Amino acid sequence: MTENKVEVSDDGGQLRLVMADGESLRFHAFWLRDNALEEDTRSLANGQRLITMADIPNDTKILHAEVTEDANLVIEFTPENKRAMYPLPWLKAHAYDRPAKMEEGWLSQNLILWNSSLGNQVPVVDFETACKDESGLHGWLRSIRSHGFAKMTGCPLESGALIKVAELFGYVRETNYGKWFEVRSEVNPSNLAFTSLGLQAHTDNPYRDPVPTMQILYCLENTADGGESKVVDGFAAAKRLQMENPESFSYLKNYNMSFEYNGDKGQILKTRKPMIEISAEGELTGIRFNNRAAAPISQVPFEKMSGFYEAYRHLDAIIDDPTMHVTFKLNAGECFIVDNTRVLHSRTAFSGEGKRWLQGCYPDKDALLAKLDYLDRVEAG
Ligand code: FE2
Tens-digit pLDDT profile for residues 10-25: 999 999 999 999 999 9
Q: Is it the case that residue 146 has pLDDT exceeding 70?
A: yes
What are the residue ranges of helices labelled H in the chain?
A: 29-34, 88-93, 127-132, 134-147, 162-166, 234-244, 246-254, 302-320, 365-380
Ligand 1 geometric centre to CA of 305 (Å): 28
Number of H helices, E strands in the chain: 9, 19
Ligand 1 geometric centre to CA of 15 (Å): 52
Domains in the chain (CATH in brackets) are 5-93 (3.30.2020.30), 116-380 (3.60.130.10)
Summarize pLDDT for 312-346 with one digit per residue, the tens: 999 999 999 999 999 999 999 999 999 999 999 99
| SS3 assignment, position 149 | strand
Ligand 1 geometric centre to CA of 50 (Å): 43
Ligand 1 geometric centre to CA of 271 (Å): 17
Contact call for residues 350 and 230 (beta carbons, < 8 A): no
Ligand 1 geometric centre to CA of 146 (Å): 21
Query: Residue 66: enclosing H or E segment and its boundaries?
Result: strand 61-67
Count of alpha carbons within 13 angstroms of residue 310, beta-carbon side: 13
Report the predicted TM-score, pTM, of the whole model to 2 decimal places.
0.90
Ligand 1 geometric centre to CA of 304 (Å): 30
Ligand 1 geometric centre to CA of 222 (Å): 17
Ligand 1 geometric centre to CA of 147 (Å): 18
Ligand 1 geometric centre to CA of 135 (Å): 30
Instruction: Identify which of 126-140, 187-201, 337-351 has the greatest average pLDDT.
Output: 126-140
Ligand 1 geometric centre to CA of 347 (Å): 9
Query: Which is higher by pLDDT, 166 or 192?
Result: 166
Q: Is it the case that residue 186 has pLDDT exceeding 60?
A: no
| SS3 assignment, position 274 | strand
Ligand 1 geometric centre to CA of 200 (Å): 9
Ligand 1 geometric centre to CA of 236 (Å): 19
Ligand 1 geometric centre to CA of 204 (Å): 5
> 181: left (phi > 0), else alpha (psi -120 to 50), else beta?
beta
In the chain, the percentage of residues whose pLDDT exceeds 90 is 86
Q: pLDDT at position 169, please?
A: 96
Q: pLDDT at position 352, please?
A: 65
Count of alpha carbons within 13 angstroms of residue 59, beta-carbon side: 5
Number of other CB atoms surrounding residue 161 within 10 Å = 17
Q: pLDDT at position 166, please?
A: 97
Ligand 1 geometric centre to CA of 232 (Å): 12
Ligand 1 geometric centre to CA of 193 (Å): 7
**What is the chain's mean pLDDT, rounded?**
93
Say how many Å lie between the first and final Cα of the chain, rounded: 27
CA–CA gap between residue 111 and residue 95 (Å, rounded): 22
CA–CA gap between residue 27 and residue 194 (Å, rounded): 56
* Residue 341 CB partners (closer than 8 Å, separation 6+): 203, 211, 213, 277, 285, 286, 287, 365
Ligand 1 geometric centre to CA of 10 (Å): 60
Ligand 1 geometric centre to CA of 359 (Å): 11
Residue ranges with CB less than 5 Å from ion ligand 1? 204
Q: Is it the case that residue 242 has pLDDT exceeding 70?
A: yes
Spatial CA neighbour of 275 closest among 241, 245, 303, 306: 241
Q: How confident is the model at residue 187 (pLDDT cuts 50, 70, 90)?
A: very low
Summarize pLDDT for 249-292 with one digit per residue, the tens: 999 999 999 999 998 788 999 999 999 999 999 999 999 999 99
Q: How confident is the model at residue 111 (pLDDT cuts 50, 70, 90)?
A: very high
Q: Is it the case that residue 215 has pLDDT exceeding 80?
A: yes
Q: pLDDT at position 194, please?
A: 56
Q: Is it the case that residue 191 has pLDDT exceeding 60?
A: no
Ligand 1 geometric centre to CA of 154 (Å): 23
Ligand 1 geometric centre to CA of 168 (Å): 22
Ligand 1 geometric centre to CA of 160 (Å): 18
Summarize pLDDT for 348-359 with one digit per residue, the tens: 877 766 788 999
Ligand 1 geometric centre to CA of 218 (Å): 12
What DSSP letter does each residue of 169-235 carry, written as one string?
T--BPPBTTBSSEEEE--SS-SSGGGSSS----B-S-TTSSSPP-EEEEEEEEE-SSB--EEEEEHH
CA–CA gap between residue 362 and residue 350 (Å, rounded): 24
User: Span 188-208, mean pLDDT?
Assistant: 76
Ligand 1 geometric centre to CA of 289 (Å): 11
Summarize pLDDT for 117-127 with one digit per residue, the tens: 998 899 999 99
Read off the DSSP letter of residue 36. -
CA 223 to chain centre: 34
Ligand 1 geometric centre to CA of 101 (Å): 34
Own/partner contacts of 3-12, CB < 8 Å, gap of 24 or more, are 3/67, 4/67, 4/71, 4/88, 5/67, 6/65, 6/66, 6/67, 6/73, 8/62, 8/64, 8/65, 11/61, 12/61, 12/62, 12/63, 12/78
Q: pLDDT at position 73, please?
A: 97
